[in-house]
Structure 1
Amino acid sequence: MLTTQVAWILLAASVAAESLGTAALNLSSGFTRLLPSVLTVACYVTAVWLMAIATKRIEMGMAYAAWAGSSAALTAVIGIAWFGEALSPIKAIGICTAISGIVLLNLSGNGS
């Protein structure tokens, strides 16, 4: 039986897979490099599959909002840490806003 806690863990794994897939997409050079291209597709398929399982227990709107916001924030952090993208004050505020929105959604009590 899928518990709410396990569903959230699966959703977090989905976020990680999606963000890793996006990093691999950047490395694929427009799908011209085989290994990063295969990794991109595998990660995206895994991300959607894990999210589909998580939405058996987490409301779809809540799951998608948490997934999209977390993925965007994590992908931005990966871009800064591994690809040397700039961290402007506006970008930092945006990342914090995404994270704050996810926290507020979860505090609303509609997470399961």
Structure 2
Amino acid sequence: MNAWAYLGVAIVAEVIATSALKASSGFTQLVPSIVVIAGYGTAFYCLSLALRSVPLGVAYAIWSGAGTALIALIGVVLYKQKLDLAGIAGIGLIVAGVLVLNLFSRSATH
């Protein structure tokens, strides 16, 4: 698997773990708590593998930005949380930043 695939797996695992963190109710629910631990373990392991090739700043910006946007979407869809216009704009800017890094920055290829 290449570094970008590892980064993708790290993002998905982190999003799953963070979603389960809410369901764990402060680690009082066993199954969601196990998902949190396994998810974050997988996320950090895959992120460490991605960092063999992807620069730290680029990898972290993509990992955290994509994760933030996905968690906000999950919050709206699964947990019925509301986003106001400022929240939507902010998340849009995060997504735009991730896209700019991936599509236009030469930093991502070094």
Aligned to 1:29: 25
TM-score by length of 2: 0.93
Deviation at 1:35, TM superposition (A): 0.4
Q: Measure, in 1, the Cα distance between the counterparts of 2:33 and 2:44.
A: 17
Match of 1:104, as an amino acid? V
Q: C-alpha root-mean-square deviation of aligned residues, in Å?
A: 1.0
Residue from 71, 78, 87 that aligns with 2:83:
87
Deviating runs (4+, > 2 A) in structure 1?
none
TM-score normalized by structure 1?
Answer: 0.92
Q: Which residue of 1 aligns with 2:105?
A: 108
- Residue 30 of structure 1: SS of its match in structure 2? coil
Shift of 1:33: 0.4
Give, in whole Å, the separation in 1 of the partners of 2:93 and 2:4.
Answer: 20
Q: Distance in 2 between matches of 1:95 and 1:20?
A: 19
* Residue range with higher mean Cα deviation, 99-108 or 25-34: 99-108
Count the aligned residue pairs: 108
Letter in 1 for 2:47: M
- Counterparts of 2:86 and 2:66 in 1: how far apart (Å)? 17
- Are 2:48 and 1:43 aligned? no
- Percent identical pairs in the alignment equals 36
Distance in 2 between residues matched to 1:53 and 1:64, nearest whole Å? 13
What whole-Å deviation, never above 9, does each CA across 1:77-102 have from its counterpart, x for those lacking one? 11111111102111111111101111
1 CA distance for matches of 2:105 and 2:32? 39
**SS of 2:83 mapped into structure 1:** coil
- Measure, in 2, the Cα distance between the counterparts of 1:97 and 1:90: 10
Paired residue type of 2:48: A
Q: Which 5+ residue runs of structure 2 have no aligned equivalent?
A: none
Moved more, 102-111 or 63-72: 102-111
